[in-house]
Amino acid sequence: LDDLLDEDVQGRYVLVRSDLNVPLDDDRTITDDGRIKASIPTITALAEAGALVVIMAHLGRPKNGPEDKYSLAPVAERLGDLRAAPVRLAELGKELPNMAAGDVVLLENIRFDPRETSKDDAERGAFADELVALVGDDAAFVSDGFGVVHREQASVYDVAQRLDSYAGGLVLSEVEVLRTLTGSPERPYNVVLGGSKVSDKLAVIEALLPSVDQLLVGGGMCFTFLAAQGHGVGSSLLEADQVDNCRRLLDSGKIVLPVDVVVADAFSADANTRTVPVEGIEDGWSGLDIGPDSVSVFGSLLRATKTVFWNGPMGVFEMAPFAEGTRGVAQAIVDATAAGAFSVVGGGDSAAAVRALGLPEDGFSHISTGGGASLEFLEGETLPGVAVLEEQ
Ligand code: 3PG
């Protein structure tokens, strides 16, 4: 980005890909604006340099073209409020509104056009051509949506091939931090993984096991591991087709599982709950959080760690009775960080949990804006949105 700012961007169109994919509640109120805040420095730097800034971003995964519930309108408004300067929302597929130097326009949800996410290169390319035509061939492209650089999509990948392209400050800083983890992290290096499905995390677990000292598993996915150890898991989430994979991963001797769990008789904040050892999960009950003894086990390992990466909540933290596992683990990481450890929180959900549970954001060394993107980076996958910039 600095290279671009060193050039004269006064009066030049700059197309920016940001990741503004934020959670909204049923009233379409933004519940966590971390990604919007993280996107502002690049947008502001370009606007202050006099560029005509046109932002491309997505919200959710719309499948049927434009739909109000996927509109970026609340995001444009929040972005404007946070910048204290209006951000106009422009319809997709229309000419841009008139813009002056320093103006910021946000294009409506880029995924309203199905060609954005098409697997067909020609379809995506045709859409990228239309996006480029909005701003002209002399425009520059800044890739700043780290959370989406693992997607080979028109606004991330194909546009970069067509314009003078740069990495934004957010992409650069995220890649630099995550390289610390894939390089030679200070030991012990522990990873904490949560979230619901083992199948989503299998690749990252396989990739991380050789380099970590311990991999702590909580969240819904721990029950498939517990089943692989021979425990009954009652009505907890279980991916039966992954039990053999879990057994094989457990052979590494590096996976640490909960010793107790909070079980409930319904998926509800007012369900009946009990804390039971992992040997004692009864039929009809599902585990919705790790228990206090597990928090102690995980906490003592984490407080002694020098490097830690955490992705995925330990339980259904959105409901108070099942939030303590996530809170306890996050607090242990904060304590480790205060004692000098290097800590990275990866992923939309875990970053949102940090903020929702009122933990100090500056208690961690880095909170990544990328969920899938940070995991794929740690897996050693080539991220198309980064590779395309390196090819330039
Ligand atoms: C994310 O939320 O991880 C990014 O915004 C990417 O969204 P996607 O998984 O729908 O591509």
Same domain (yes/no): 90, 215: no
What pLDDT was estimated at residue 2?
83
Query: 242, 180, 235: which is closest to 205 by C-alpha?
Result: 242
- Strands (E) located in 194-271: 214-217, 255-256, 260-264
CB 150 less than 6 A from any atom of ligand 1: no
Q: Are both 151 and 209 inside the same structural domain? A: no
What is the CATH number for 164?
3.40.50.1260
Q: Which of 219, 348, 363, 385 is catalytic?
A: 348
**pLDDT per position as a tens digit, 90-129:** 999 999 999 999 999 999 999 999 999 999 999 999 999 9
Question: Is 391 a member of any domain?
Answer: no
Query: Are both 280 and 198 inside the same structural domain?
Result: yes
Given a cut of 80, whether residue 348 has pLDDT beyond it is no
Which of 17, 301, 45, 295 lies closest to 161, judged by CA?
Answer: 17
Residue 345 in any domain: the answer is yes
Q: Where are the beta strands (DSSP E) in 224-285?
A: 255-256, 260-264, 273-277
Across the range 73-95, mean pLDDT stands at 96
Q: Mean of the per-residue pLDDT values for the chain?
A: 96
* Cα–Cα separations (whole angstroms), residue 202 to 90, 223, 231, 310, 376: 40, 14, 20, 15, 11
Across the chain, which distance is largest between two alpha carbons, in Å? 67
Mean pLDDT of 4-19: 93
Closest CA to 153 of 182, 187, 114, 181: 114
Asked whether residue 269 is assigned to any structural domain, the reply reads yes
Number of domains in the chain: 2
Q: Is residue 147 in contact with ligand 1, taking CB distance under 6 Å?
A: yes
Q: Which residue has the CA at smallest separation from atom 7 of ligand 1?
A: 148
- Residue 161 belongs to what H/E stretch? helix 159-162
Residue 19 shares a structural domain with residue 99: yes
One domain, residues 166 and 288: no
- Annotated binding-site residue? 303: no
Ligand 1: does its nearest atom lie under 6 Å from the Cβ of 371? yes
392 pLDDT tier (thresholds 50, 70, 90): confident
Instruction: Out of 172, 193, 211, pick the residue that ends a domain.
Output: 172
Q: What is the mean pLDDT of residues 1-11?
A: 86
Same domain membership, residue 160 and residue 220: no
Q: Domain end: 147, 172, 197, which one? A: 172
What ipTM was estimated for this complex? Answer: 0.99
Boundary of a domain, candidates 172, 197, 227: 172
Q: For residues 225 and 345, state if they share a domain.
A: yes
Statement to judge: residues 308 and 258 lie in one domain:
yes
Burial string for 316-351 (b: 16+ CB within 10 Å, else e) reads bbebebbbbbbbbbbbbbbebbeeebbbbbbbbbbb
Residues 88 and 190 in one domain: no
The confidence score (pLDDT) of residue 333 equals 98
Is the beta carbon of 19 within 6 A of some atom in ligand 1?
Answer: yes
* Residues 249 and 209: beta-carbon distance below 8 Å: yes
Q: How confident is the model at residue 303 (pLDDT cuts 50, 70, 90)?
A: very high
**Residue 314 lies in domain:** 184-378
Q: Which residue has the tokens 């380099």?
A: 211
3-class SS of residue 316: coil
Q: Read off the pLDDT of residues 166-224 as tens digits, 9 standing for 90 and up.
A: 999 999 999 999 999 999 999 999 999 999 899 989 999 999 999 999 999 999 999 99
User: Which is nearest to 36 in space by CA: 49, 14, 15, 55?
Assistant: 55
190 bridge partner residues: 214, 308
* % of the chain exceeding 70 in pLDDT: 100
Amino acid code (one letter) for 243: V
Q: Are residues 87 and 226 in the same domain?
A: no
Within this chain, do residues 70 and 217 fall inside the same structural domain, yes or no?
no
The answer to whether 111 is annotated as binding is yes
If asked whether residues 203 and 155 sit together in one domain, one would say no
